[in-house]
Amino acid sequence: MISIKINDIPLQLEAPVNLVEAAAMVGVHIPHLCYHPDLSIHGKCRICMVELKGSPKLLPACMTMAEDGMDVVTNTDKINQIRRGVLGIQLSTHPFDCQTCDKGGECRLQDYVHTYGADVKKYAASEEKPNYDNPLIERNMARCVNCRRCIRVCSEVQADDVYEAMVGKGPNEKIVTDESKCVHCGHCIAVCPVGAIQSRMSLHTYRPWYIDSEITTVCPYCGDGCRLKLQARKGRIIRAVSLDEKAPGLGSLCVKGRFGYDVPNSVERLTKPLIKKSGGFVEATWDEALGLVAKRLAEIIAADGPDAVGALIGGRNTNEEAYLLQKFIRTTIGTNNIDNTARLGHINALMAIENTAGLLSFKSEIRGIAEAKSILVIGTDPMAENPITGLAVKKAVRKNEAKLIVADAGRNGSRKFAAQSLDVKPGSLGRLARAIVSVLLAEGLYDKSLETSESAEPGFFSKLSAWAKAKPLSSLCADAGVSEADAVEAARTLASEGRTAIIFGAGVTASANGYADALAVARLWVTLGGAAKGGIYPMAAKAGEQGACDMGALPDMLPGYSKITSASERGRIADLWNARVPEMPGLDLFGMLSGGLKAMYVIGADVVSALPGGAGTANTLSELDFLVVQDIFMTETAKLADVVLPAAAFAEKDGTFTNSERRVQRITAVIEPVGDSRPDGRIIADIATLMGRPMRWKASEVRERVSVSTPPYAGINFALLKRRGIQWPVKLMPCELRFGPAEGEGAGILPAAPGGFYADFAPSLYHSGTMTRRALGLNKMAGSAYAAFNPEDAARLGMSGAGEVVRVTVKSETGSITLEAKIDASVPKGIVHIPDHFAGAGVSGLVPSGRAAARFWPVAVEILK
């Protein structure tokens, strides 16, 4: 125990901290500009000087660790005179533009000058002009105080090195940046203590005292589930702010979280219920719209039975909404035809892990990736798709010297941090995982306890061995398009000392054999030693996908993954709901969209844009007798609806999201729903009530019911979900290793024609679907679909790369689209990278509809002359 005094206030410390932190613990603020708790010590601003009683020497508080017996004074005349001197030097070049600086009111320089004053000897204004090279970030180096926080955060935390160095002297000193490296995370804005680096989204419009509503909530754009603060004024969101390093989000946000906050403000929001009449939509009252929905659903049930109705929910919805929808479909409608968009990939990961080690047997924390010594990133690009997971990967590589293996077929920004990069053939990542298992077994690098484990099913190890060896290593590697030496190197890296992390995503789970490939990855994890050796991280693309699965928005599972075929589980849920639960598994998303239903209720899922075979999906939906779509924007799917119900956005409602590490976190409304829009849960409950089974909507009440009916969520309620949320399972169950059911490996994807390409329909850093396409800042960065080629392929196609605008036609057997072409060295040869978020670009029409939710598909490309 370390006993010290700060301004005569006694303090006991269990571990040494510097004097800035120690003082903060007793409520004393020692001024500082260059010090930041998440960054290395710079120690140059000299404003944090303090005294030790009895010693004439002044000490920089940021560089002085608390030692037993220290008696620290932070505010003598001598210290304050030094502070006035420091501030005077800063002000001697600082522009007098506080009236127009958005930092006013939260500027360290302004605040300290107000507190201590400033001895300005001579004034010579900096001649630096604001720089607008970055579409989202203003850099005004005339205001810079040379603290170098931006340089350090970009290098030490983000590993992007955009801020290169300070050049020049005195008033002309400035920071040189390399904008080509910027991923627009805005972390530099967050750490800048003054107005030198600011968001262009709110330029000249932001002041802290403008805010009339502020809450801490969860970013809705990807499965990382970063916590952030949203600030609003007069019903409009005006800023998103990252939290500290201990919060989910690791102290940062990606570009979507920091600059995509304005989606709820969009003028394109649906604000009134719409009913289709004579081929067009007319505005309706809620009573008219809900009455029509209840009446038509009841008529269709009466005529064709409950199984003629189906429902889908997408990735923008809360757990409580997904729970209520599946309960409504099962009890009010009377069918198990309920699914969610995780069917396109993430559910394969969950089922593969469940069928191997059990989801209740472990927890993998995103921040734990930073502790790994070896990492396999397979079939996902966390730097773009789940950027805070990507941040943890970068931390591991840069700070923990982790060896990163990146295996993918398409463009993957993680490659630039990789020790080993494997360009795998499209659709064969499962083969690579199996090849690595084969090497681990052959070289004796596997977890030996598997041979005798009493917690494994009988014969587990021999089944695993037989599976790995059923195909020779040479054949597995040939299928995957990698050398045997590559597989051996990867296996040895992963089996080496230290913790591992296996991160996988849609490249695996949304491939033609998504479940089988995910199972191979899960078996690789188990072979290495499972949770004892490291974490496994299935990446959810959307904030609500994990939760929708957990809540039982699935055709064959009840809340908490209880099987619908289990009479006892059905009985348990039926007792809780006081209603019958249908016995037969329902249709999944693909089954529902292959025709045969009479009515569908689609919430927050633009399936026409997102699913393979967009035209086929649109045809199926058009042929329904009745389609209800509930969303925040007029999506391609909503355009086909008979009734469109306007829903509240993430910032306008309460509930919880569960991120891909299975952390349940609370979201809270910061503004009222725009127009006449309503929270999805309220709409579902109102329809159920009109149909004769009254339901109530209050997010906290539904949360209580979830905790009773969903075993992994037992005991999780709003009151417990504080700053970090709660990861499920709350209580770990013993791991029971299983070999998993039959894998159902299908035919895979068609080979590309000679000289042809595989289209890689990939998420991008700047978008995550329907919502982000309405974010002004994100559209500045990526406003439309494009086709990106490797430079060699571009040259082969006849592109000079000389800045000309080139358009290409991308054709498959099912469709053809024309896009602007780009040249991108990070796209592998033979691949055309096409971001998949742009509705209306017709991307989904390039792939036939059906179960093969192929992330890659063979296409031909022609340049348009």
Contact call for residue 219 and ligand SF4 (CB under 6 A): yes
- Candidates 60, 193, 225, 712: give the one binding ligand SF4 (CB under 6 A): 225
- Nearer to ligand SF4 by C-beta: 360 or 388? 388
Contact call for residue 393 and ligand SF4 (CB under 6 A): no
* Alpha carbon separation from 721 to 104, 360, 615 (Å, rounded): 33, 20, 43
- Tokens representing 796 are 């082969």
- Candidates 60, 387, 534, 763: give the one binding ligand SF4 (CB under 6 A): 387
CA distance 220 to 632: 13
Q: Tell me the sheet residues that pair with 808.
A: 819, 863
Count of CB atoms situated within 10 Å of the CB of 369: 31
- Work out the angle at residue 165's Cα, subtended by the Cα atoms of residues 162 and 166, and round it to the nearest 5 degrees: 130
Site string for ligand SF4, 49-88 (x = CB under 6 A): ----------------------------------------
Contact call for residue 221 and ligand SF4 (CB under 6 A): yes
Q: How far is the CB of 720 from ligand SF4 (least distance, A)?
A: 21
Q: How far is the CB of 387 from ligand SF4 (least distance, A)?
A: 4
Contact call for residue 534 and ligand SF4 (CB under 6 A): no
State which H helix or E strand residue 342 sits in: none
- Tokens representing 10 are 């006694």
Count of CB atoms situated within 10 Å of the CB of 553: 32
Q: At a CB cut-off of 8 Å and minimum separation 6, what does 701 contact?
A: none
Q: How far is the CB of 339 from ligand SF4 (least distance, A)?
A: 23
Within 16-71, residue ranges assigned H as helices are 19-25
- Nearer to ligand SF4 by C-beta: 226 or 294? 226
- Nearer to ligand SF4 by C-beta: 231 or 386? 386
**What is the size of the binding site for ligand SF4 (CB under 6 A)?**
14
CA distance 698 to 684: 12
- Nearer to ligand SF4 by C-beta: 253 or 510? 253
- Nearer to ligand SF4 by C-beta: 269 or 767? 767
**Structure-token match 């102290």, residue found:** 251
- Nearer to ligand SF4 by C-beta: 226 or 632? 226
Contact call for residue 382 and ligand SF4 (CB under 6 A): no
Q: Left if phi > 0, otherwise alpha if psi is -120 to 50, otherwise beta: which for 664? A: beta
Strand 655-658 versus strand 643-646 pairing type: unpaired
- Nearer to ligand SF4 by C-beta: 31 or 249? 249
Contact call for residue 300 and ligand SF4 (CB under 6 A): no
- Nearer to ligand SF4 by C-beta: 709 or 768? 768
- Nearer to ligand SF4 by C-beta: 426 or 544? 544
Count of CB atoms situated within 10 Å of the CB of 509: 32
Stretch that binds ligand SF4, among 82-90, 122-130, 306-314, 386-394 (CB under 6 A): 386-394
Contact call for residue 160 and ligand SF4 (CB under 6 A): no
- Work out the angle at residue 413's Cα, subtended by the Cα atoms of residues 411 and 418, and round it to the nearest 5 degrees: 110
Q: How far is the CB of 696 from ligand SF4 (least distance, A)?
A: 30
CA distance 87 to 609: 56
- Nearer to ligand SF4 by C-beta: 146 or 546? 546
- Nearer to ligand SF4 by C-beta: 249 or 535? 249
- Tokens representing 195 are 């107005």
Count of CB atoms situated within 10 Å of the CB of 449: 15
Stretch that binds ligand SF4, among 216-224, 605-613, 636-644, 786-794 (CB under 6 A): 216-224
Stretch that binds ligand SF4, among 126-134, 284-292, 381-389, 534-542 (CB under 6 A): 381-389
SS3 762: strand
Site string for ligand SF4, 244-283 (x = CB under 6 A): -----x---xx-xx--------------------------
Stretch that binds ligand SF4, among 123-131, 383-391, 561-569, 589-597 (CB under 6 A): 383-391
- Candidates 222, 237, 250, 450: give the one binding ligand SF4 (CB under 6 A): 222
* Alpha carbon separation from 53 to 6, 78, 536, 637, 844 (Å, rounded): 10, 13, 53, 71, 71
Stretch that binds ligand SF4, among 382-390, 447-455, 524-532, 740-748 (CB under 6 A): 382-390
**What are the backbone dihedrals phi and psi of residue 243, each rounded to the nearest 5 degrees, phi first?**
-100, -170
CA distance 271 to 676: 5
**Structure-token match 């970013």, residue found:** 219
Q: Which of residues 336-355 bind ligand SF4 (CB under 6 A)?
A: none
Within 181-313, residue ranges assigned H as helices are 187-191, 255-259, 286-304
Contact call for residue 646 and ligand SF4 (CB under 6 A): no
CA distance 369 to 281: 49
- Nearer to ligand SF4 by C-beta: 515 or 650? 650
* Alpha carbon separation from 376 to 152, 218, 226, 354, 484 (Å, rounded): 27, 27, 23, 20, 17
Which positions touch ligand SF4 (CB under 6 A)? Answer: 219, 221-222, 224-226, 249, 253-254, 256-257, 386-388
